[in-house]
Amino acid sequence: MGGEDYTSWRSHFLLLLDRIPTPIAVCRADGEVTVANPAMAAEWGTAPGRLRGHNLQELFRPRAAGRLDRHIEALRLGRRPRHPIEVRWTAGTDGVEREGELLVDPVGDAFPASPMLLAILRVRAEPIPRQMEPRAEVSGVEGHILALAAAGATTAAIGKAVGLTVDGVNYHLTRLTRRWRVPNRTALVAKAYVLGVLSTREWPPAPAPQRTARGACRSTQSPHIPPGRTR
Residue 5: partners with Cβ closer than 8 Å, 6 or more residues away: none
Contact between 41 and 48 (Cβ < 8 Å): yes
Task: Give the DSSP H/E element, type plus range, for residue 20.
Answer: none
Instruction: List the chain residues with pLDDT less than 50.
Output: 110-111, 132, 134-135, 212, 214-231
Strands 117-123 and 96-106, how do they pair? Answer: antiparallel
Whole-number pLDDT of residue 136 = 62
AA letter at 213: A
Residue 220: Cβ-neighbour burial (10 angstroms; 0-12, 13-18, 19+): exposed
Can you give the length of the chain in residues?
Answer: 231
Whole-number pLDDT of residue 218 = 40
Whole-number pLDDT of residue 109 = 55
Burial code (b: 16+ CB inside 10 Å, e: under 16) for 167-204 equals ebbeebbeebbeebebeeeeebbebbeebebbbeeeee
Whole-number pLDDT of residue 220 = 36
Backbone angles phi, psi at 36, to 5 degrees: -135, 140
Composition of the chain by helix, strand, coil, percent to 5: 35, 20, 45
Burial code (b: 16+ CB inside 10 Å, e: under 16) for 50-89 equals ebeebbbbebbebeeeebbeebbeebbeeeeeeebbbbeb
